[in-house]
Each structure stands twice: as structure tokens, then as C-alpha cells.
């Protein structure tokens, strides 16, 4: 599998944690890419017409777009049925965590584009506030369900971890820990797990 990759992308991190956990990392050929919404990477766009990371191309030419699909593909190649359980309550529970983590990332990326890609004259404070509110509301929900984050690694708790790691990386000024002490305590430990420590953003 060819994987279009950037070490700073939290979605790529999810894919790499999945591959490491499932013992599939050696079968992945990484291709560096660094697209922006206003400056596409032509090598990446030739494969993924949406121009986004991560994207993967299988040996039969099938294109996998986005971390959700790539992680699902990896789960199907691996041998840990708890990573992403088969359809049923256990899967919906893992996906609930996954989707909350991914939603935090989506909002964080939107806020970052506003402050680091868009020229200053065109920035709109309400837009960033709206995204930060989504992040804070979702963090509060996760703080109320930290018991669900415990236990074996799976695509749910790892995605939440990648989201918190991204906040630490790009939003270090945003103190989310004071309001969410249980989540902060969980993350202090989870951040040290080898597959998380090995994939910290650079």
C-alpha cells in the first residue's frame, strides 16, 4: 500500500498508529506530501483528486481517501478484532469515540486554517470561536466518559488520543485540561503508550 504522508497530520498519525498496532507498518510505502487547501500538491492530487491527506493506493489501483477508510482497510488486514469490532454494539461504541475525536480534529483544522493560512485581513473571529466551542463541548463530553477510553487500544481511544495530541501540538495556548481533569489524567498516561510516543507530531 502506498500512503501519502505528512508527519504533522493528525489523520496520518491515526493511520500510522493503526498500522503499528496491527503489525502492518512495514508493508506501507510512505510518500511525503504537504498540500494546503489553496496550494495543492500536484503529485498527491494526481492520485487523490480531492488533494487531501491521508490517501492510499492499493496494489490493484483502488484509491482509499481519508483516515477512516484507510484505518478500516488496515483493520481488515490485521488480526485484532477489538481494534474495530464487527457490526454490533461494540463497533458503534468504538465509532462514537472515533467520531468525537475526528470531529475535534476537523474543528481544530478549520480553526488553524483560519489563523495560519488565511490572510489576516480576511479572518473572522466568530468563525474561530464557533470551532473552538465545538472542540470544548466535545472535550467536556469525553471528560464525562473517560471510563469508555480505558482498556485495550482501539480505533476509538487512539483517535481521541490523536485529537488531544494535536491540541497539544498546535493549540498549546488553549488550556483544556483545567475544565476536563479526568480526560487530562487519562491522556497523561495514554500519551506514553509506545505506539503513541512513536508517532508524536513533528
Q: Give contact residues for its own copies (rule: CB under 8 A).
A: 37-40, 45, 49-52, 58, 60, 62-66, 68-69, 72-73, 75-76, 87-89, 92-93, 95-96, 99-100, 103-104, 106-107, 110, 118-119, 122-124, 126-127, 129-131, 133-134, 137-138, 140-141
Q: How far is the CB of 194 from its own copies (least distance, A)?
A: 27
The smaller minimum CB distance to its own copies, of residues 60 and 147, is found at 60
Q: How far is the CB of 100 from its own copies (least distance, A)?
A: 7
Q: How far is the CB of 78 from its own copies (least distance, A)?
A: 11
CB 28 within 8 A of CB 4: no
CB 156 within 8 A of CB 101: yes
Name the one residue in this structure whose C-alpha cell is 464487527: 86
Which residues, other chains included, contact 96 with Cβ-Cβ below 8 Å and sequence gap of 6+? 156
Q: Provide the 8-state DSSP code for 85.
A: P
Q: How far is the CB of 17 from its own copies (least distance, A)?
A: 19
Which residues, other chains included, contact 177 with Cβ-Cβ below 8 Å and sequence gap of 6+? 183, 184
The smaller minimum CB distance to its own copies, of residues 54 and 161, is found at 54
How would you classify the pairing of strands 55-57 and 29-32? unpaired
Amino acid at each position: 500500500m502506498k500512503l501519502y504522508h505528512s508527519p504533522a497530520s493528525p489523520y496520518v498519525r491515526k493511520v500510522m498508529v493503526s498500522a503499528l498496532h496491527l503489525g502492518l507498518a512495514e508493508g506501507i510505502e510512505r510518500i511525503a506530501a504537504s498540500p494546503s487547501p489553496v496550494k495543492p500538491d500536484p503529485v498527491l492530487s494526481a492520485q487523490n483528486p480531492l488533494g487531501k491527506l491521508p490517501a492510499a493506493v492499493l496494489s490493484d489501483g483502488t484509491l482509499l481517501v481519508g483516515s477512516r477508510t484507510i484505518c478500516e482497510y488496515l483493520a481488515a488486514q490485521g488480526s485484532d478484532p477489538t481494534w474495530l469490532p464487527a457490526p454490533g454494539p461494540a463497533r458503534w461504541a468504538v465509532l462514537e469515540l472515533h467520531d468525537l475525536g475526528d470531529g475535534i480534529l476537523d474543528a481544530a483544522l478549520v480553526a488553524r486554517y483560519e489563523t495560519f493560512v488565511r490572510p489576516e485581513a480576511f479572518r473572522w473571529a466568530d468563525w474561530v470561536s464557533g470551532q473552538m466551542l465545538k472542540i470544548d463541548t466535545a472535550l467536556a463530553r469525553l471528560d464525562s466518559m473517560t471510563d469508555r477510553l480505558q482498556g485495550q487500544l482501539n480505533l476509538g481511544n487512539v483517535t481521541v488520543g490523536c485529537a488531544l495530541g494535536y491540541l497539544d501540538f498546535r493549540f498549546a495556548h488553549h488550556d483544556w485540561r483545567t475544565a476536563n481533569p479526568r480526560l487530562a489524567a487519562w491522556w497523561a498516561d495514554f500519551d506514553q503508550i509506545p505506539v503513541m510516543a512513536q508517532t508524536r507530531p513533528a
